[in-house]
Amino acid sequence: MYTVIKRMEVSAAHSLSLGYPSKCTSLHGHNWIITVHCRSRVLNADGMVVDFTRIKEAIQSHLDHQNLNDLLPFNPTAENIARWVCEQVPHCFRVEVQESANNLVVYEKDE
């Protein structure tokens, strides 16, 4: 089994739609640390699970310096962002989204 791990930083803003009063309903930003985990039993024709550049293009190039509410079709919680990231990258099975030093979300695909 081969595992590829790509870590990247994304600066982005969002506001959350919540069922309770919270300062997070106001537009604010984070320097998100997103870690993508991909794995495969076999390598592709280029000898890779997935190219690191492909991961960066699919995620960082898409989200960096954006208002996530304008870009994503869901409430941009860290949990929802983690699931979305996992769906964008081939062979991805786990994503970590850290929005601050003390707040980390992990999404893992059911296999």
Per-residue pLDDT of the chain (111 residues; tens, 9 = 90+): 999 999 999 999 999 999 999 999 999 999 999 999 999 999 999 999 999 999 999 999 999 999 999 999 999 999 999 999 999 999 999 999 999 999 999 999 986
Catalogue the E-assigned strands of 15-108. 28-40, 66-67, 92-100, 103-108
pLDDT, residue 60, reads 93
Q: What is the largest CA-CA distance in the chain?
A: 52
- Ramachandran region, residue 70 (left: φ > 0; alpha: ψ -120 to 50; beta: rest): alpha
Q: Which domains does the chain have, with CATH numbers?
A: 2-108 (3.30.479.10)
User: What pLDDT, on the 0 to 100 scale, is given for residue 88?
Assistant: 96
What number of other Cβ atoms are within 10 A of residue 32's Cβ? 23
* pLDDT of res. 35: 98
- Is the dihedral angle over the CA atoms 97, 62, 85, 3 positive or is it negative? negative
pLDDT at residue 110, rounded to an integer: 86
Q: Which DSSP category does 19 fall into?
A: S
pLDDT at 49: 98
